[in-house]
Structure formats: structure tokens, C-alpha cells
Amino acid sequence: MEFQSSKGIFLQIADNLCHQILDGHLKPGDRVPSVRDLAAEFEVNRNTVMRTYSILQESGIFENKRGIGFFVSGDAIKLVRDTEKANFFNHDLPDFIRKVKLLKLTSSDLSELVSELKNNDNHENK
């Protein structure tokens, strides 16, 4: 994973883990990698990973079972999806709409683009 300087590393790791939950790589009830293992995988300080896990635990996405480790909570998918939707509606969508206006894209331009994306997805899934 390549880190961006515009966002804290611990937040980028949290985003990565949340995307793994949405993608189904991490499922509710799954034990997540230990702090030490994830720190080694991402080549970061263990305190950085601990900060990530603390944030995910505070938001209800992870549960800490003392002496055993961190686990994906039963509500994780819903919590991550709700957070991602809010971020999309509050940040990504307004930026997208500004670009559409600047580029003077029409609804048919967008419709064609969506159709192309769907066709590409269908070909990749075969």
C-alpha cells in the first residue's frame, strides 16, 4: 500500500481495512491481524496500527476481546457502508457535480459513461 501525504497513515490503514470489510475479505466475526503483524505488513510503527484499531473500535467496527485480539464486529458492514455513504454524499458527490458543471457534461454524456462502465464490469466478471 502506498501512503498519501494528504491524509494520516492511521486513517489510510483504517480505510483499507474498511474496504476489505465491504469487499468481503474481512467478515463479521473474523479476527483481524495482530497489531504487530499489520505494522510489519504496512511497514509502520505499531503505535500507528494501534491508533487505527482504537478508532475502528470506537466507531463499533472492531471489537477487542482482551487477551485474544481484535475482531470485526457484527455491525461492521452496516457501519462502514453508512460512513462511506455519508463521505460520498458530503465530499465526493459535490466535487463530482462541480466537475460536471465545469466540463458542461450532459445527462447523455453521463449515461454513456455509466453504460461503458457497466459493460467493462460485465466483461471483467466473465
Cα–Cα distance, 109 to 105 (Å, whole number)? 6
User: Can you give the pTM of this predicted structure?
Assistant: 0.79
- Tell me 65's DSSP state: E
Residue 8, classified by CB atoms within 10 Å of its CB into exposed (0-12), middle (13-18) or buried (19+), is: middle
pLDDT for the residue 126 = 61
Confidence check: pLDDT of 102 > 90? yes
105 pLDDT tier (thresholds 50, 70, 90): very high
CATH topology classification for 9-76: Arc Repressor Mutant, subunit A (1.10.10)
Digit-coded pLDDT (tens) for 50-84: 999 999 999 999 999 999 999 999 999 999 999 99
Cα–Cα distance, 125 to 7 (Å, whole number)? 32
